[in-house]
Structure formats: C-alpha cells, structure tokens
C-alpha cells in the first residue's frame, strides 16, 4: 500500500521538475519577480531593494522545486528497484561476474547500484549545479571542471559505499536477526572518522586550503578566539572563487583536524569587522559543541532507522516479497535504503529545526563576543546578496528545508541585541560560554 501511494505522487513531482528543466531561466526569473511578496518584513524593506527580493525569490524558488524533483527521482528509483526484479537482476549479474567469490560479487553489485544512481541523477545535477548557477551569475566554473568535480565525488562515494555496504551485507549473513547493533556501531565509527578526516583528506581534493594570508586579519581573528576562550592557532582560507561567487565560511573537523575555513570570496567582499563576525559565529558553533551534538543526534536517528529497516527486511523475507531470496540477500539493499530514505524525509522538519536552533545559538554567541550588531547586519546583507537568498521564504519551506533562520529573523535578532546593548561592547570576554 505504501509503495503504491508513493509511486502515484512521484510522476507529478518528476513532471514538474521536467517542466522546470526545459523552461528558460529568464522566464522563470520573470515569473518569480512578478509574484514577489508585497508585504515584506520591515527588516527586508530597510536593508534590501525590491530587485534583491525578486532575484532571491527567482533563484531559490527554482531550488525548492529542484529539491522536490531530485527527491522524487531518487524515491522513484528505489521504489522501482524494490517492486520490480531489477535489484535481483543486478545481484544475479554480479554473481555471474564473480561466481566463486561472494564478497567480490557483493562489491560489484553495490558498485553497479551506486553508478546507476549517479547516472540517473546526472542530468538534474548538471542543470542545477552548472546550467542554473551560470544563468544566475553565481558560478565561475568551466564545464570540464564541473564534470571533474562530479567524477571525483562519484569516486569518493564508491570508495565509501562499496566497503561499508559489503560489511553490512556480511553482518546480514553472519548475524541474522542480530546485526543491527554491530551495523549501527560500524556506521557510527565511520561517521566520526569521516567528520575527522574530511578536512585533511577529502576537502583538499576539491579546493586549495591554506592559512589565512592577511597577517593583520589573522592576528585579529586569533585574538578574537582567545577572548572567547578557544585555542585557535590557525584560520584557513579556501579558493572558492575558482567555482563560485558565493561567500561562506564553515567549521569542520574533530580534534587535531578541527578548523575554521573562510571562502576567499567572503574575504574579498567583506571588511575586517564582517569577517570577524563570521568567525565569531563559527566559534559559537565550536563553543556550543554543535558538531558533537550533531553527531550524537545522527547516531540516535541512525539507530532508529537501522532498527526499522531490519524489521521491514525480516517481514519481506518471511513473506517472500520484493524478489528476495532470504533475509541475507544483498538484493534487499534497495529496500533497506528505501526505509532509511523515507524515515529521513519524515524527520526532515526535526533535523532542520535542530539546525536552526544551533544557528541561532551561534548567532547570539557572535553578538555577545563582538558586541557589533552593525557588522552582523552588514555581513547578513552581503552574504544574502552574494548567495541570492530568498528574503521572504514561504513558512512551510522554512519549516521543512531551512537549516538557518531566514535573513529577516537574523537581522531582527541583531537589532534587538543592539537595542539592549547600546554601548556596542561585548558582554564579557567569555561571552560564548557553553551551557552547564
């Protein structure tokens, strides 16, 4: 019943995405511009022009539909693999290619599955990541460079999916009915290792990341971290301008790989006060242990999802459903992934709600540390314009998809902070203390 009702909605989403893909960007932009909300929040009216509103709505409006289309496409692919003999046929092909080596056959099956999904999503990914980004003047990347990045990402996915999927299949065979706990522990360990190693292993494959070159700004930022009680020996900058005109910064890594990285586009388009504010925001994440909290919540969700996936696989094996040869059949991997995919979609509002809470905490921490609400607002305005953010996003979209509070809310928070701290002084050298 579930697969039948879901598959009935999927063609609608795919059709809408196909219409979007073949519609010229200029027509799409014009349509959003004419429908731009007239009752914008006062923070938007004060700091942005009607053109900013229309342009952000044109860009992000299309991204909302692309998210719906991409989600529907992946969901449709998983449903078809589950309800048709397609997964069993792939498994049989893998066995024929390695008839005497079951482990190799499993690896071949998983690799074919990953490559099939990459090929399926490639056209939509190319439109969203290359064609549309160029249409809005955001991308600086050549077509060849985009293809190389996509190929590298696919190879990294293969390098992760094949061994982890093979280990999962091994646990299915070795511990039938009892594989959830060791699989969850394995997935948790892999998650922590990936977060720790990504800054030094994966990120350099796509970007040149080096210590911040401006010595005066570097010392200013390190002094800021010192006031927050955070030991930062180095702040990094990344050559994002090779790919995009968007500005950004992020906090990544664990332990010795922990670092704050600033886009060179952010450095080029912002003054020292604004850069300091962005760093203070990232320090807020650091002080509040948001990465560790995020990992903990991910592990909790993963445990629940694995348990549900195991129950569905057991039910399907008992019923002989979905062309499964038994509970340890690797051909059941798409069914397991479908359960995880649906649960992830259902929990998306919870995930984004928690993320927005973390971002509000980091915003507040940045204001308490610097006391510079004016720089906070200038930074928000600059980043909004460079990233073409939706200034008046639909509430349902915010609830479902937004990992950060809308721009108007963030500016309003800074204005309220400024009203309560007219001196503009930080609220103490340790203004971003972790809650007890």
- The DSSP annotation for 252-292 comes to E-SGGG-EEEEEHHHHHHS-HHHHHHHHHHHHHHHHTTHHH
The string of DSSP codes covering 4-61 is HHHHHHHHHHHHHHHHHHHS-HHHHHHHHHHT--SS--HHHHHH--HHHHHHHHHHHH
Is residue 18 situated within a structural domain? no
Is residue 109 situated within a structural domain? no
In this predicted model, what pLDDT tens digit does every residue of 233-262 receive, in sequence order? 788 999 999 999 999 988 888 888 888 899
Strands 259-263, 236-238: pairing is parallel
Is residue 263 situated within a structural domain? yes
Is a pLDDT exceeding 70 seen at residue 423? no
Q: How many CB atoms lie within 10 A of CB 318?
A: 10
C-alpha 84: how far from chain center = 31
In this predicted model, what pLDDT tens digit does every residue of 369-387 receive, in sequence order? 999 999 999 999 999 999 9
Is residue 401 situated within a structural domain? yes
In this predicted model, what pLDDT tens digit does every residue of 31-87 receive, in sequence order? 344 344 557 899 999 999 999 999 999 999 999 999 999 999 999 999 999 999 999
* Structural domain of 364: 206-291+353-420
Is residue 273 situated within a structural domain? yes
Is a pLDDT exceeding 90 seen at residue 26? no
Look at phi and psi of residue 75 and say left if phi exceeds 0, alpha if psi is from -120 to 50, else beta: alpha
In this predicted model, what pLDDT tens digit does every residue of 184-208 receive, in sequence order? 999 999 999 999 999 999 999 999 9
CATH code for the domain of 212: 3.30.2010.10
Is residue 287 situated within a structural domain? yes
Q: Using a pLDDT cut of 90, give the percent of the chain over it.
A: 77
Is residue 33 situated within a structural domain? no
Is residue 177 situated within a structural domain? no
Domains: count for the chain: 1
């Amino acid at each position: 019943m579930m697969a039948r009702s879901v598959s009935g909605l999927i063609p609608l989403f795919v059709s809408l995405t196909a219409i979007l893909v073949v519609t010229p960007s200029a027509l799409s932009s014009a349509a959003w511009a004419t429908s731009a909300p007239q009752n914008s929040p006062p923070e938007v009216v004060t700091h942005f022009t009607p053109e900013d509103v229309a342009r952000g709505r044109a860009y992000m409006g299309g991204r909302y539909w692309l998210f719906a289309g991409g989600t529907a496409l992946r969901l449709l692919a998983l449903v078809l693999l589950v309800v048709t003999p397609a997964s069993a046929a792939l498994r049989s092909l893998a066995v024929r290619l390695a008839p005497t080596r079951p482990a190799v056959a499993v690896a071949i099956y998983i690799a074919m599955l990953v490559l099939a999904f990459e090929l399926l999503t490639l056209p939509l990914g190319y439109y969203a990541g290359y064609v549309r980004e160029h249409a809005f003047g955001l991308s600086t990347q050549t077509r060849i460079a985009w293809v190389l990045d996509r190929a590298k990402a696919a190879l990294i996915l293969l390098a992760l999916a094949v061994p982890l999927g093979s280990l999962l299949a091994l646990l299915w065979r070795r511990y039938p009915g009892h594989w959830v706990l060791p699989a969850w522990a394995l997935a948790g360990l892999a998650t922590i290792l990936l977060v720790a190693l990504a800054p030094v292993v994966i990120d350099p494959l796509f970007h040149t990341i080096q210590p911040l070159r401006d010595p005066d700004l570097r010392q200013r930022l390190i002094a800021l971290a010192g006031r927050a009680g955070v030991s930062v020996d180095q702040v990094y900058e990344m050559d994002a301008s090779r790919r995009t005109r968007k500005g950004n910064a992020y906090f990544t890594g664990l332990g010795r790989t922990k670092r704050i990285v600033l886009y060179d586009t952010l450095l080029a388009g912002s003054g020292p006060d604004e850069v300091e504010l962005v760093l203070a925001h990232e320090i807020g994440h650091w002080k509040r242990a948001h990465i560790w909290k995020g990992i903990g919540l991910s592990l909790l969700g993963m445990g629940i999802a694995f348990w549900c996936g195991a129950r569905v696989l057991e039910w399907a094996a008992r019923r002989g459903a979905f062309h499964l040869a038994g509970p340890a059949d690797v051909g059941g991997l798409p069914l397991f992934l479908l359960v995880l995919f649906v649960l992830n979609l259902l929990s998306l509002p919870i995930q984004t709600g928690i993320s927005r809470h973390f971002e509000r905490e980091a915003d507040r921490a940045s204001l308490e540390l610097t006391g510079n609400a004016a720089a906070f607002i200038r930074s928000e305005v600059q980043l909004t314009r460079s990233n073409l953010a939706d200034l008046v996003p639909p509430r349902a979209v915010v609830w479902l998809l937004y990992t950060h509070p809308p721009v108007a809310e963030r500016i309003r928070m800074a204005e309220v902070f400024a009203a309560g701290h007219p001196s503009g002084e930080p609220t103490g050298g340790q203004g971003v203390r972790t809650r007890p």
